[in-house]
Structure 1
Amino acid sequence: MEAVAADSPPGRVEGALSCFSFNQDCTSLAIGTKAGYKLFSLSSVEQLDQVHGSNEIPDVYIVERLFSSSLVVVVSHTKPRQMNVYHFKKGTEICNYSYSSNILSIRLNRQRLLVCLEESIYIHNIKDMKLLKTILDIPANPTGLCALSINHSNSYVAYPGSLTTGEIVLYDGHSLKTVCTIAAHEGTLAAIAFNASGSKLASASEKGTVIRVFSVPDGQKLYEFRRGMKRYVTISSLVFSMDSQFLCASSNTETVHIFKLEHLNNRLSCFCRSQTTRNKPWSRSGLSLSRRPEEPSTWSGYVGKVFMAASNYLPAQVSDMMNQDRAFATGRLSFSGQRNICTLSTIQKLPRLLVASSDGHLYIYNLDPQDGGECVLIKTHR
């Protein structure tokens, strides 16, 4: 999943960890320190088992593991332009590549490996590490913000398309062509993330007050969540649950927000039922929610058409019904101001919220998927 360096690489960082990341299916945690890097299994709440550790490369500021495999990608402050790919069980280096400027972030799935520099993105075939495409002259991206869908059957790539607005470029990592651009926010982007299937893309701007979810590949807005209006925050992590039912956001504040992605047709049906005592049925008012033969066959296309019709025809409460002003659930942290990442995972058959922080702590919370509310902290690992 999303990786975070405790400061914008390759600058130095304070705290116990220089970087930390969850793998693509949230079963492993990777950390980088001045001494090297370590990989941990997330199969148990009570125990954090170390899978691998290495001190061969010091001052690590990027470490990414490919799912639960033995492939790990490492970048060090000592050589910030060089990417090293290892098979840690065999103890061998698979390859290394050097680039024209400092590496800011790396994303990978079972088909593609992305290397993000400030003004370019390199796309490799992960099978043989052959360079397939270089996306040049992208708007300056000093934080290396980019996302790669973990579903290798599509391998969508997302990255900022503007220096001044929250435009997202959606790129197809298989066909190596631009799919579309999405006008996601008025302000510049702070976070972007795909869901596991690559069918949805979430984004947040630098203000951090609004989080939006778009359908992929057509870029139509599906949801809008308001994290809060009292203050601007810096969103440091944005991640879907593996089943795409929830979206989690952490920031520089003491609260982690979890939003529930309710099905659009369920919400429309609930609203319809609530109006039956006051209004006539919609079937005679010019809006039908039943599918017609000529309507789109895809889920996103069908929902988009129905929802657009509803928002244009019905009162404001319908057009705003996909906007949530309150989170479904929250996790309270004992700190604020520290860089952190969050993820939603199933551990020992129960849904959990996990938060890793730059001071070297991993917090595990219970999440109630039915009623939400405040998540209960059940374990802290150091």
Structure 2
Amino acid sequence: MATYQMNFNQDFTSLSVLSSTGLRLYSIAGQDKVEELFAKENTEQIRIVERLFNSSLVVLVTAQKPNCLKMLHFKKKQDICNCFYPSDILCVRMNRQRLIVCLAESIHIHDIRDMKILHSIENIAPNELGLCALSLNSHLAFPICQTSGELRIFNANKLRTGMTIKAHDTPLSALSFAPSGALLATASERGTVIRVFSVSNGQRVQEFRRGVKRCVRIASLVFASGGDFLCASSNTETVHVFHVKIDPQLMEAKPIAEAPAKTDTSTKEATAPSEKSSEVASTGSWFSKAVSSLLLPTQVSDVLAQDRAFATVVLSQPGLKNICALTRVQKELRLLIACEDGFLYIHDFNAERGGVCKLLAVHDLRGALEDVIELQLSESLIRTQLNKPTTTTTTTTTSVSIGQPSLTMLKSCAASVLIENPEPGMPDNSYAGILRGDQTDAMSVSLADSAKFRKLCDAIDTPTKLYDERQFPPVAIAAKD
């Protein structure tokens, strides 16, 4: 079976689908309406795709040049610039202020408006998975140990190192910030327990039990757009949604002294005695607190203190990678599951009762979008549709001719990042340019940087059309003098 790499943008309004044949970007305009925005043949073997919100900015990393970050204005089919790094790019994260590039042993922080490198975090513990998370307010979290689930929070806006959190005893497998940036969810490679921490003080404020029998790999860990729910998917057949209910006292507490992390096992989670009372209190039951603290062994009371799933989705086929999103689609809360089989599943979600989420629609995104949108309400019809062969059509893409590159070297610490401007030779036809006549090489580089800046501003600028209240307001970036 062909596999598809699926990835939502930051506000879950669009979805990228990457396969061996090409790249496609889709806009999720409604429950039964998914629109194709862009298609590109995969001649370069693209392996990483990220889109910035609903803007025209897309970044790509290819297998042919794994150390090169390509920035593209996809609506105009124009290259903005290319950035070269000392080693292979493993992960890219973006918000409206920063662009983060994660390598195996370093992390580079760029100003997304002009791609100037602001800081490099060097000599970190080998991070072969490229695991990192970036909040909307530019908090950056990344692992700092290969043998345990220890992580560090870095303020990418102020370029300051924050606190270190010992989240798990085993290495981390997933990190995710809440939209507000105040909470950080973590999961270890065992996948049995998911923890939520306060970013301001490092306090563990809530803990969820995903399972007790099987150790799994968490493929997707993401907060809802409102921050009140947390969705987790793994290589099992069940997707779990947890209700995030935080005690304000834990959020306002002073930073705690670092203590050994709790033991991660497939059947139990050992809890530090100093943290036990706060976790039991979060259950909201004096009876549970009394029983767990006085009558039951520590390991049993710890399990009772962990919250269970508020809602679930049972998938038809286990073992596949699923990327989840819990967001509002046309003002209705929906659970979106993008599966590596090439389908987008849309489920109903009841924020009051929870329970099993009802399947509302299935969209086939394995090829061109025409005549393959399916709205199904019957499970038998869905199974029939999934077994049918899909007719695909070829989409023609327009190639962009690019002049000889101009290179600008930006240095930070021990690493060097090479910025390549695609169109430095573009003539300056302005009145001032004609009066200047021939330009020096330095002036050509300056003009190339200006052209790159204008393209970035144009690509980052958010469309003025707002689909609903979850959309971020348009951000206009003024050109520099």
1:315 matched to 2:290: yes
Partner of 1:103: 89
Distance, in Å, in 2 between the alignment partners of 1:31 and 1:312 is 42
Note the C-alpha offset of 1:264: 2.4
CA contact (8 A) 1:223 1:322 kept: no
- Distance change >3 Å, CA 304–CA 137, structure 1 → 2: closer
Distance, in Å, in 2 between the alignment partners of 1:67 and 1:308 is 40
Q: 153, 165, 186: which is aligned to 1:203?
A: 186
- Distance change >3 Å, CA 188–CA 23, structure 1 → 2: same
Deviation digits for residues 40-84 of structure 1 (CA, Å, limit 9, x no counterpart): 111211122111112275321110000000001111112111110
Distance, in Å, in 1 between the alignment partners of 2:307 and 2:199 is 24
1:248 matched to 2:248: no
Partner of 1:65: 51
Note the C-alpha offset of 1:161: 1.1
Q: 127, 131, 143: which is aligned to 1:160?
A: 143
Deviation digits for residues 92-146 of structure 1 (CA, Å, limit 9, x no counterpart): 1111111111111100000000111111111110010001111111111111110
Partner of 2:171: 188
Question: Identity percentage over the alignment?
Answer: 47
Q: Secondary structure at the match of 2:29?
A: coil
TM-score under structure 1 length normalisation: 0.82
1:54 matched to 2:46: no
Distance, in Å, in 1 between the alignment partners of 2:168 and 2:235 is 20
- Distance change >3 Å, CA 219–CA 263, structure 1 → 2: closer
Deviation digits for residues 6-50 of structure 1 (CA, Å, limit 9, x no counterpart): xxxxxxxx7332x22111111110122223311111121112211
CA contact (8 A) 2:26 2:35 kept: yes
Distance, in Å, in 2 between the alignment partners of 1:92 and 1:320 is 55
Note the C-alpha offset of 1:308: 8.3
Gaps of 5+ in 2: 257-274, 282-288, 294-300, 365-481
Distance, in Å, in 2 between the alignment partners of 1:146 and 1:363 is 26
Distance, in Å, in 1 between the alignment partners of 2:320 and 2:304 is 31
Deviation digits for residues 298-338 of structure 1 (CA, Å, limit 9, x no counterpart): x8115999x98766996365896994342000011111111
Distance, in Å, in 2 between the alignment partners of 1:312 and 1:104 is 39
Structure with the largest fraction of helix:
2
Note the C-alpha offset of 1:263: 3.8
Partner of 2:323: 341
Partner of 1:357: 339
CA contact (8 A) 1:33 1:58 kept: no
Note the C-alpha offset of 1:259: 0.1
Partner of 1:301: 252
Note the C-alpha offset of 1:339: 1.6
Partner of 2:361: 379
1:93 matched to 2:89: no
Paired amino acid for 2:252: G
- Distance change >3 Å, CA 310–CA 356, structure 1 → 2: closer
1:35 matched to 2:21: yes
Q: Secondary structure at the match of 2:31?
A: coil
Paired amino acid for 1:315: A
- Distance change >3 Å, CA 327–CA 308, structure 1 → 2: closer
- Distance change >3 Å, CA 57–CA 125, structure 1 → 2: farther
1:79 matched to 2:69: no
Distance, in Å, in 1 between the alignment partners of 2:323 and 2:177 is 15
- Distance change >3 Å, CA 65–CA 206, structure 1 → 2: same
CA contact (8 A) 2:133 2:175 kept: yes
Partner of 2:128: 142
Distance, in Å, in 2 between the alignment partners of 1:303 and 1:247 is 25
Partner of 1:282: none
- Distance change >3 Å, CA 332–CA 312, structure 1 → 2: closer
Note the C-alpha offset of 1:88: 1.1
Count residues with an aligned counterpart. 332
Paired amino acid for 1:134: S
Distance, in Å, in 2 between the alignment partners of 1:225 and 1:58 is 41
Query: Which has the higher Rg, Structure 1 or Structure 2?
Result: 2
Q: Secondary structure at the match of 1:300?
A: helix
CA contact (8 A) 1:20 1:63 kept: no
Paired amino acid for 1:300: M
Distance, in Å, in 2 between the alignment partners of 1:308 and 1:315 is 12
Q: C-alpha root-mean-square deviation of aligned residues, in Å?
A: 2.3
Paired amino acid for 2:228: Q
Gaps of 5+ in 1: 1-13, 266-295
Distance, in Å, in 2 between the alignment partners of 1:186 and 1:26 is 32
CA contact (8 A) 1:57 1:76 kept: no
Structure with the largest fraction of strand:
1
1:329 matched to 2:311: yes
Partner of 2:382: none
Note the C-alpha offset of 1:217: 2.5
Note the C-alpha offset of 1:215: 0.5
Distance, in Å, in 1 between the alignment partners of 2:279 and 2:233 is 30
Partner of 2:3: 16
CA contact (8 A) 1:146 1:157 kept: yes
Partner of 1:257: 240
Q: Secondary structure at the match of 1:238?
A: strand
Partner of 1:236: 219
